[in-house]
Amino acid sequence: MPDNMFDIVVVGGGHAGIEAALAGARLGARTALITHDPREIGRMPCNPAIGGLGKGQLVREIDVLGGEMGRAIDATGIQFRILNRKKGPAVQSPRAQADKHRYQDYMVQAVHAQPQLTVIAGDVAGLDVVASGGGSRFAAVLLGDGRRVRGARCVLCTGTFLQGLMHVGERRTVGGREGAASAQGLSGSLRDYGFALRRLKTGTPPRLRRGSIDFSRLAEQPGDEPPTPFSFRTGCFTPQQVPCWLAYTNARTHDLIGAALDRSPLYGGVIEGLGPRYCPSIEVKVVRFADKQRHLLFLEPEGRDTDEIYVNGLSTSLPADVQEKMVRSVEGLERAELVRYGYAVEYDSVPSWQIRPSLETKPVAGLYLAGQILGTSGYEEAAAQGFVAGINAVRSLDGRPALTIGRDEAYLGVLVDDLVTKEIDEPYRMFTSRAEHRLHLRCDNAEERLTGLACELGILPAQAVAVLQARREFVAALGAALRRATVTDPARSLRLPADVWLRHPHAQLADLGGTASVDGDYINTLNRESAKLLAVTGSPRHAAAAIAQVESSLRYGGYILKHNKLLRNQAHLRNLDLPADLDYLAIGALSHEAREKLARVRPATLSQAGRIDGVRAGDLAVLAVVVRRHRAAAAGEAGDG
């Protein structure tokens, strides 16, 4: 813009930065996206895949609210699968392998075509912060070439670039990822403005040349037929899928790794940062699980037109010569050629106790963080945070309250609440096990759960909102008809209310009107509502997905009610607010660890306090007593007045 002044300045063109910038611009804010190289927007430096357990739910949720990741993977995916199909719908999640180059091209085009969004090529050297109301407030981003990009708000989405350092054996290279420089000055700028930083680590495996692999000795893993898209806005969906393959390490592989541990930067004390516990390097797996005879590897193509194969499960920072021997010890990979070596990367991140639930920082007002700078791992977690940070940055411009999503409403709520209340000392990864409401927070009902919020946010175009509303009406009408209906099932000698009948293991809605008869108006309702939904969406897929959602909701309705009752018994914890000025360090009955962490995080409720690592049940009991006394004292003072 001529005056170089924006409403929102987003730093970083990765998955967090994309969603933050698009959300800001789509809400009408004048937005700038600053990135090293505008051609690298949306690059997938690690596994070119989207989704997974818990992660797929996040992608579905931001899609319903107006994010871009779901549409991007539907347009560029080369294999689609629903994970955990043999388990209940609460823990099923979509995952797709992407064509990484086409995914990147899609995101570059989406960002450059977005009105109100300006892309600026440049390296960020620091921040300019001014005094404001007794504190500090963001004023501008300083680029390495001397330019100054002013903004009312800023979202930092720096990924692994803050003081990034890559490791391959004894060789160390400054950089945030292969082929890209690191951000050297920004960490110092953050420290100057009162931020504490810590080091984290992540890694990537080697890539192999497709033509050098003997696939006849590997197990093929095809995609689902028919495939399931991520985005509710995706219409006709018939991607040409490609297979992945399964391989295994063996005793020789493990011996080679064990013999080279003295050359590993991870075990030699060179790497300071902690890596992800749930996605460890192969060195860590071999040491930690010494009793395991083999480890599973997934060989995943990086695209239709590329010769590179990603070896999922073989993340490593061992020396190049060891990596070659290690790979070639695996059956089917004896003649494999390494196109690129695996490496570990260390980077600075901001401990989350310095962040508000809005993702705004406490030391500097108007500055928001999202992605790996906040200690998370994964494209999906980054995109979700970027989306939330972008929305809240815009909402703060005119004094509107921050977007708040409860843990019982979405995985988005679980993610943000965990980030701002837990002491995160390793890269955070989303799992279904982190959500206590996971029976309700399913992939199949993301549209129903979040339609109201999507309408309130106003990011989606009118046609997309119409689809959400039509689907919600379909689900409500069909569910009501089933609750009124009675099913006669001769095969099982049953005559039961339809919602009770569905709780039997082999009962399916597809049987109604066929092997099982149903009275009432269910069939008429199904036909009528299906026609209405088809008229709005243009695709029969929406009706099929909504029917599956209704079936799951009724089948597991009893479990959900019991679980919700259990959680309601703990409701007093959620409702008990903690005073903002409570002096935790002075409460001697608390453990030393609890005092330190409570004083640093300053949770808003007793429930949040209970989710902080190191705060025990006894500490919560002490806090409950202290808060009641605090309230009684405040009430007494008010009465005296």
The CATH number of residue 416's host domain is 3.50.50.60
Q: Tokens standing for 111?
A: 């960002």
Instruction: Mark whether 518 and 383 lie in a shared domain.
Output: no
Instruction: Mark whether 118 and 41 lie in a shared domain.
Output: yes
Closest CA to 349 of 166, 163, 603: 163
Which residue carries 């292969």 as its tokens?
178
Percent of the chain clearing pLDDT 90 (strictly above)? 71
CATH number of the domain that residue 603 is part of? 1.10.150.570
**Which of these three, 545, 564, 583, is where a domain ends?**
564
CA atoms within 13 A on the CB side of 126: 11
Structure confidence at residue 3 (pLDDT): 54
Instruction: Mark whether 49 and 139 lie in a shared domain.
Output: yes
Spatial CB neighbours of 31, under 8 Å, sequence gap ≥ 6: 6, 7, 8, 9, 10, 21, 24, 25, 116, 117, 118
Instruction: Mark whether 484 and 601 lie in a shared domain.
Output: no
Supply the range of the domain harboring residue 129: 5-203+347-446
Instruction: Mark whether 472 and 547 lie in a shared domain.
Output: yes
Structure confidence at residue 492 (pLDDT): 83
Residue 253 lies in a domain: no
Instruction: Mark whether 24 and 89 lie in a shared domain.
Output: yes
Structure confidence at residue 355 (pLDDT): 95
Structure confidence at residue 571 (pLDDT): 59
Instruction: Mark whether 415 and 357 lie in a shared domain.
Output: yes
Residue 505, pLDDT above cutoff 90 = no
**Which of these three, 564, 587, 609, is where a domain ends?**
564
Give dist(CA 274, CA 279) in Å, integer.
12
Residue 633 lies in a domain: yes
Residue 604 lies in a domain: yes
Mean pLDDT is lowest, of 230-234, 268-272, 604-608, for: 268-272
Number of independent structural domains in the chain: 3
Instruction: Mark whether 382 and 354 lie in a shared domain.
Output: yes
pLDDT tens string 427-472: 889 988 888 888 899 999 999 999 999 999 999 999 999 999 999 9
Percent of the chain clearing pLDDT 70 (strictly above)? 96
Residue 501 lies in a domain: yes
Residue 322 lies in a domain: no
Q: Are 307 and 296 in contact (CB under 8 A)?
A: no
Structure confidence at residue 182 (pLDDT): 78
Closest CA to 376 of 410, 342, 422, 441: 422
Instruction: Mark whether 403 and 545 lie in a shared domain.
Output: no
Give dist(CA 217, CA 246) in Å, integer.
10
pLDDT bucket at 631, cuts 50 / 70 / 90: confident
Instruction: Mark whether 442 and 480 lie in a shared domain.
Output: no
Structure confidence at residue 469 (pLDDT): 96
Q: How many other C-beta atoms lie within 10 A of the C-beta of residue 108?
A: 19
Closest CA to 539 of 241, 233, 239: 233
**Exposed, middle or buried, 419 (CB in 10 Å: 0-12/13-18/19+)?**
buried
Across 21-35, 132-146, 175-189, the highest mean pLDDT is recorded for 21-35
Residue 610 lies in a domain: yes
502: left (phi over 0), alpha (psi -120 to 50) or beta: alpha
Residue 408, pLDDT above cutoff 80 = yes
**Which of these three, 564, 592, 609, is where a domain ends?**
564
Instruction: Mark whether 42 and 154 lie in a shared domain.
Output: yes
In the predicted model, what is the mean pLDDT of residues 563-574? 65
Give dist(CA 392, CA 376) in Å, integer.
19
Q: What is the mean pLDDT of the chain?
A: 91
In the predicted model, what is the mean pLDDT of residues 21-28? 98
Structure confidence at residue 1 (pLDDT): 41
Structure confidence at residue 591 (pLDDT): 86
pLDDT bucket at 405, cuts 50 / 70 / 90: very high
Instruction: Mark whether 148 and 31 lie in a shared domain.
Output: yes
Across 88-92, 113-117, 415-419, the highest mean pLDDT is recorded for 113-117
pLDDT tens string 159-209: 999 999 999 999 998 988 877 777 888 999 999 999 999 999 999 999 999
Residue 279, pLDDT above cutoff 80 = no
pLDDT bucket at 62, cuts 50 / 70 / 90: very high
Residue 58 lies in a domain: yes
Mean pLDDT is lowest, of 115-129, 241-255, 512-526, for: 512-526
Residue 263 lies in a domain: no
Cα 487 to chain centroid distance, Å, stands at 41
